[in-house]
Structure 1
């Protein structure tokens, strides 16, 4: 289907984590083929799609073949050792594209988690909405580092905060160019968490779900902050329709118990009623929108959220499992006509047709910058201790290896010589690994932390100067 020459008045957007881990994910080929079929038949017809955990070219090409009649343009993004798993599909040509890797991106020693090896980052695409249109959308698709412990004890919190900062900078730059900004992806954060506030505050973007559902949950019903709201345990159906829960819900077969999953694999369809209580479901997948209310743009180029929903909740027709361990988030944006109406709705969910207003890109409080700086200082101290420990291990292992080789000369028995040789070899290998990690990786990480620290200090100084100027203007009035 050829791209229209005129700019559209609505824009249908989907973000979806596909669970396409090669060799690991069960029924990967079948599920991702079905995902392509669902996208091709989706209503309303998707026009911009951001995919995460689409790790293989085979699966990407399968989706492309099935959706090419509605999404003729696409880009698969390469990153890291195993690939970043990111892809963007579009109704219109992609004018520019880049893959921006995060500077803080997990640790190679956590090979069983894989975040460092896949080279996580931001897939960026610049798309012109119509061949002769001046309307440009900049799409940023990402998958942030996963949290493996609860905050504030998460040892990767500084990494995820740095990643949130980097994508916020990219979205802020696009907004300052006067372009419509779309941030899509699995952000591995709950609504109103620190990373969430950092992105919405610094990038001047709006969480599309909270625009339409401002009273939606800020975590699972088991989370402490959500429990304090006193709303009780929601049903599975309510979590989908009002809370936008895309992950860990009882309706997703990948969150069933191991025993139930075994029954599922054997063909026994595990049916869960929508009225079942759903205490663990939460929202990790987002569509952020911003930049389209730039003051230099004509009012008819401004966009608002018309509708949003959780999608891809169906199960595979023959296997019976959910298509992924996440559900998709799907939004329809409409072009606004009256700038005076650009204000966030504070009424109950579902009331009216809320839109979003422009927010000062320096709206982060000074305390936010201080929290980040404290986080950087704590993590830097941890990594310095790690480097000292690993480099010390390297030195000790070298001494032990040399000592074992020397002792072989006076070995009274062959088996003693063998044990000394084995000890020397294993010690040398472990020491070399520690030396490489301590000297190269941690050294690189510490330099990235210094860059991150400077950026935050600089942003804080700019914000303080701006606030002083604003206060002086108020005092003059």
Structure 2
């Protein structure tokens, strides 16, 4: 295996894909993820860095590694939570350091049917050395943000996703201050220009590669209100892939088809959907963000002083050769970066870089703080209800034990003891969630609130200076 550390690369090919590898739940999981490995290996040009999400099992990871290790010899399967976070990073070059950073706000254990809390979502971090010099280091951050289960602003998890965007932005900013090339990728479960998207691009120097190339691309599905206001015709599936960068809910993805098409597919028929079909549901949830290694600035032109974005595309749209289904319920997002300043003397030799501070509008910080306050109030009520449920069940259990003394029949004793034991078990779980989990979440909310308030204060303090600079130009 070539270590790749003697000759720095002049280009960098990146691929990110949500594999939809849910154990026991995702149909044809083994077959699909094996074929994903085959298609990554057959890609032209081949990727240098790959980030995978929802690759939940070591078996599927090993299957992909076996097919790609000849050109991606380094890899890391990240462990987190109870069931694992499903995150994987593959690399052409050595992974010098690695860590799994859990998100402080990360779903609720009571929502066991959704599973976000149980998988321990977070950021898979890898420091990869592509060459002998400090500016040849790339820091990769692969993540999968909390899924939305209701339409914003009614999504009860919007506070979680906002906090998670804030956390990964901090990690990427820290990497940029170390003078390294920064790459953030994954399924962010957000649409372009949403609050989470704006946080990432404001509180870190990274930029969304797709909007760098296609600044007028859609910011949601054609059926969404924000797109309807643009009064544009409903895009075709091909346009969504090539211009809007849609990676999810595409009309070309078999897992989003109607029952009739799925039934035909299940019978072995290779159903063909024309790329010219209207595609009102497709949207972009998968992203690659990047910021150049040693020349981090606030504008797009300056942010790419050392590495420039050459291309970006939606990939992995092919189907399984025998099952004829899509390889995942998402398509991949891919990008190619070109190095334009490989001179080792062009970067500082040591120390931290001082990045220009950028801020969201003050009203946006107020919006985040209002979201935090609303969610904190919800959780305080949940804590009261859950603790109340515990004490209620405890009282019922004591009552049932007392009632046994006057019970006329043995079967009545059994029913009373069974129901009291069952009720107390549920009450103890509720008490644990209310007394331990909710209290922990409220403390995490306090930390998040402090950080947002602090950023808001700095933003207000910077306004006179910014206004003065604007008037001076």
- Residue in 2 aligned with 1:377? 373
- Residue in 2 aligned with 1:416? 412
- Residue in 1 aligned with 2:42? 41
CA contact (8 A) 2:295 2:305 kept: no
For structure 2, the residue ranges without an aligned partner over 5 or more in a row are 343-353
Report the Cα distance in structure 2 between the residues aligned to 1:475 and 1:187, rounded to whole angstroms. 38
Shift of 1:133: 6.1
- Residue in 1 aligned with 2:345? none
Shift of 1:277: 0.4
Shift of 1:231: 1.1
Q: Compute the TM-score of the two structures, normalised by the length of structure 2.
A: 0.93
- Residue in 2 aligned with 1:303? 307
CA RMSD of aligned residues (A): 2.1
1:370-389 per-position Cα deviation (integer Å, ceiling 9, x unaligned): 11111100000000000001
Report the Cα distance in structure 2 between the residues aligned to 1:409 and 1:382, rounded to whole angstroms. 42
Pairs within 5 Å for 1:290-329: 290-292=291-293, 294=295, 302-329=306-333
Shift of 1:466: 2.7
1:86-116 per-position Cα deviation (integer Å, ceiling 9, x unaligned): 0101111011111000010001111111100
Report the Cα distance in structure 2 between the residues aligned to 1:28 and 1:299, rounded to whole angstroms. 39
CA contact (8 A) 1:174 1:291 kept: no
1:216-241 per-position Cα deviation (integer Å, ceiling 9, x unaligned): 11000011001111112101111111
1:166-185 per-position Cα deviation (integer Å, ceiling 9, x unaligned): 00110111111111110100
1:380-413 per-position Cα deviation (integer Å, ceiling 9, x unaligned): 0000000001101111110010001110110122
In structure 2, relative to structure 1, the CA distance for the partners of 1:400 and 1:449 (3 Å cut) is same
1:50 aligns with 2:51: yes
Report the Cα distance in structure 2 between the residues aligned to 1:156 and 1:57, rounded to whole angstroms. 29
CA contact (8 A) 2:365 2:452 kept: yes
In structure 2, relative to structure 1, the CA distance for the partners of 1:379 and 1:133 (3 Å cut) is closer
Match of 1:438 among 431, 434, 440: 434
- Residue in 1 aligned with 2:402? 406
Aligned residues: 457
1:79 aligns with 2:80: yes
CA contact (8 A) 2:135 2:181 kept: no
In structure 2, relative to structure 1, the CA distance for the partners of 1:385 and 1:252 (3 Å cut) is same
Q: SS at the partner of 2:117?
A: coil
Shift of 1:360: 4.3
1:139 aligns with 2:140: yes
Pairs within 5 Å for 1:232-381: 232-292=233-293, 294=295, 302-336=306-340, 360-381=356-377
CA contact (8 A) 1:254 1:321 kept: yes
Q: SS at the partner of 2:118?
A: coil
- Residue in 2 aligned with 1:355? none
- Residue in 1 aligned with 2:65? 64
Shift of 1:134: 3.5
CA contact (8 A) 1:70 1:91 kept: yes
Report the Cα distance in structure 2 between the residues aligned to 1:174 and 1:443, rounded to whole angstroms. 32
Shift of 1:44: 1.0
- Residue in 2 aligned with 1:425? 421
Report the Cα distance in structure 2 between the residues aligned to 1:473 and 1:249, rounded to whole angstroms. 45
In structure 2, relative to structure 1, the CA distance for the partners of 1:38 and 1:474 (3 Å cut) is closer
In structure 2, relative to structure 1, the CA distance for the partners of 1:476 and 1:25 (3 Å cut) is closer
CA contact (8 A) 1:300 1:337 kept: no
Match of 1:458 among 445, 449, 454: 454
Report the Cα distance in structure 2 between the residues aligned to 1:300 and 1:5, rounded to whole angstroms. 24
Shift of 1:258: 3.1
Q: SS at the partner of 1:249?
A: coil
Match of 2:382 among 365, 381, 386: 386
CA contact (8 A) 2:234 2:280 kept: yes
- Residue in 2 aligned with 1:352? none
For structure 1, the residue ranges without an aligned partner over 5 or more in a row are 339-357
CA contact (8 A) 2:4 2:92 kept: yes
CA contact (8 A) 1:121 1:142 kept: yes
In structure 2, relative to structure 1, the CA distance for the partners of 1:7 and 1:148 (3 Å cut) is same
1:409-442 per-position Cα deviation (integer Å, ceiling 9, x unaligned): 1012233222222221121111111101100110
